[in-house]
Amino acid sequence: MLDAKDALSGYRYLVLAEGMFGPQTSKTANSAVRYLPGRVLAVIDSRHAGESVGDVLGFGGTIPVLATVEEGLGRGATALLIGIAPQGGQLPGSWRPMLNAAIDAGLDVVSGLHFHLSDDAELRERAAARGVRIHDLRKPPAQLPVSTGRARLVDALVVHTVGTDCNIGKMTAALQIRDALAARGTRVGFAATGQTGILIEGWGISVDAVVADFVGGAAEQLVLRAAEGNDVVLVEGQGSLVHPGYSGVTLGLLHGSMPDAMILCHQPSRQCPWNAAHRYDWMRLPSVPEMIRICESAIAPLRESRVIGIALNTWDLTDEQARDEARRLEDATGLPATDPVRFDPSPLAGAIVAAAERKRAGRAGMGG
């Protein structure tokens, strides 16, 4: 399990997102802007140079977008963050000069690529020569176990964010709900299962980099740790059970984490599985009620687990359209539905608190 909380907590970042900075193409960069306030000093993307992060994303304020790493070096940054996670996770060849410039300037490097920068001889030797550290957030730990179902035994309520698609806001929903629960006084742990969640939380396992047999075991280990001293565990979701490219890791994560309940994440405007190259336009996504049935059926042989709320991603809708969609889904499913970023995560937090109380009452009724 990667535990880099101390190492990552003090960094001030230049974020490299060259050619890909945008609402849906730079998830790591966007989440760093949202959840590490004050620690992102600039974003590097020559396409949007001269604009602000707020201009590009709709949030993030006046953080500047710069054309080169060199332009950002005088701003007090201590690390360069790779701000994208492209399909395949490889390092674009055109980025090497920018990485070299950052390393030569003494910046540590934080990366969530599948390509481990610390395994690259040129970058590793250059970093060592300059006393620079490379953090590969997606490098899995050794000796992971096969899942044995132990996550179902924790006292905490385990809630897993699942999705109608990938890249739809499962981590963001979990973090928004976490903050709402903490504000209520609930002791809540966040189990980071991807590189961006690890960046924000400081520990976790990027399950999409784990050998398939051990994805469930990785999820189990995350739940067991996150449950320590907490009333609720929020397990960050990955992919989707119906995504042609990523369903394998999704199922392993679902079965390994053994959730008591699920929050379904959905983008109303999304019609086909997401891919930047539109490779999945041949497939239509299931409706929300059908996706609820799919998720609940997938875990049913192991334990009963129900979807208890719907987290919407409505960034491309008007406020009126977003509220109408939330009401429509509440009527169709009988579940609370909201955009936890745009509006209020409290309906989802309330559903989780009620489920936690039911679990405690059920355990008390069985004598613990």
Are residues 53 and 126 located together in one domain of the fold?
yes
Q: Decide if 142 is inside a domain.
A: no
Helix/strand/coil (H/E/C) assignment for every residue in 25-70: CCHHHHHHHHHCCCCEEEEECHHHCCCEHHHHHCCCCCCEEECCHH
Q: What is the pLDDT of residue 5?
A: 66
Are residues 160 and 127 located together in one domain of the fold?
no
Are residues 265 and 342 located together in one domain of the fold?
yes
Q: Which residues form the domain of 329?
A: 150-365
Q: What is the pLDDT of residue 2?
A: 66
Q: What is the pLDDT of residue 104?
A: 97
Q: What is the pLDDT of residue 91?
A: 82
Dist. CA 351–CA 261, nearest whole Å: 10
**226 in Cβ contact with 188 (< 8 Å):** no
Q: Decide if 79 is inside a domain.
A: yes
Output Rg (C-alpha) for the chain, integer angstroms.
Answer: 20
Q: What is the pLDDT of residue 357?
A: 96
Are residues 126 and 157 located together in one domain of the fold?
no
What pTM does this model have?
0.93
pLDDT in tens, the chain (368 residues): 667 666 788 899 999 999 999 998 898 999 999 999 899 999 999 999 999 999 999 999 999 999 999 999 999 999 999 998 766 667 888 889 999 999 999 999 999 998 999 999 999 999 999 999 999 999 999 889 999 999 999 999 999 999 999 999 999 999 999 999 999 999 999 999 999 999 999 999 999 999 999 999 999 999 999 999 999 999 999 999 999 999 999 999 999 999 999 999 999 999 999 887 789 999 999 999 999 999 999 999 999 999 999 999 999 999 999 999 999 999 999 999 999 999 999 999 999 999 999 999 988 777 65
The CATH number of the domain holding residue 105 is 3.40.50.720
Q: What total number of domains does the chain contain? A: 2
Q: Decide if 145 is inside a domain.
A: no
Are residues 53 and 189 located together in one domain of the fold?
no
Are residues 96 and 167 located together in one domain of the fold?
no
Q: What is the pLDDT of residue 24?
A: 84
The CATH number of the domain holding residue 193 is 3.40.50.300
Q: Which residues pair with 109 in a beta bridge?
A: 80, 134
Are residues 170 and 299 located together in one domain of the fold?
yes
Q: Decide if 53 is inside a domain.
A: yes
